[in-house]
Structure 1
């Protein structure tokens, strides 16, 4: 098994992926909803949040099951591997990981709390530095060789 991926690289990869998905969708959404104002129309903001979450889920699920890494992970030279053998998470593990990371965030109020605990979990998890979405899918983030 390659060495574990650095937590800072994991964070930067998530930021890259988040921007890659959310910025274009926000621009398209604001062009389609000309009346949309983030400060006045919370219903539309929630709708945009759900759209971003669903698109991010599909993006991450497809990237992980076909390549083992997203664009952000490619840029940071890390990848997702199965804990038992280091293989890419093809099929259900990739989709499970994407679902546990992304979909709870659309639940009003408590979804954000779960997401926050999920992503912070790797800061105290030993020995593999797994987040909850890694544990659910039995994956680990490793450096690429």
Structure 2
């Protein structure tokens, strides 16, 4: 099984790979207007129902879920996992996950974090990975029947 610390680092790398372009894409959608205006948090939440905010939220979900699904489906590795010498494998036979398993894994991994629980969801997944024996599976791995294994010699 892959080292938990390397899994965390790989996830941070993958998050940055998607987040940095999204930060730039968010400018035309006005997602930073409320922050720059100095309005309080309550005002920002109340006004975040604008069309541009919802479109940007949808773009973000597609970007994170799409990135993870396509990368895991093609080689079992996101760029972060590749840099950390790990890959996602099917629990039953070690093969590269198919499209359905890759999509299930990505949806369970990213959707709660992007819609409702940006701080809590990653913490829940991390705790489950740390306490799960013997496979170190988070909910996303359990849902897709996958494990993360080391590729280092």
Q: Structure 1 length normalisation: TM-score?
A: 0.84
1:79 to 68, 87, 110: 87
SS in 2 for 1:123: helix
- 2:149 counterpart residue number: 142
Taking the TM superposition and a 5 Å limit, the aligned residue runs for 1:119-134 are 119-134=126-141
Gap change, CA 1:7 and 1:20, over 3 Å in 2: same
Displacement, 1:115? Answer: 4.2
Gap change, CA 1:38 and 1:19, over 3 Å in 2: farther
1:62 to 63, 70, 75: 70
Between the aligned partners of 2:25 and 2:135, the Cα distance in structure 1 is 39
Does structure 1 residue 18 correspond to structure 2 residue 12? no
SS in 1 for 2:147: strand
Displacement, 1:92? Answer: 0.9
Instruction: Structure 2: give runs of 5+ residues left out of the alignment.
Output: none
Q: Structure 2 length normalisation: TM-score?
A: 0.80
Contact 2:141–2:147 at 8 Å: present in 1 too? yes
Gap change, CA 1:25 and 1:107, over 3 Å in 2: closer
Between the aligned partners of 1:19 and 1:111, the Cα distance in structure 2 is 15
SS in 1 for 2:33: coil
Which is higher, the Rg of structure 1 or of structure 2? 2
Gap change, CA 1:35 and 1:100, over 3 Å in 2: closer
SS in 2 for 1:94: helix
Between the aligned partners of 2:148 and 2:103, the Cα distance in structure 1 is 15
Contact 2:30–2:53 at 8 Å: present in 1 too? no
How many residue pairs get aligned? The number is: 140
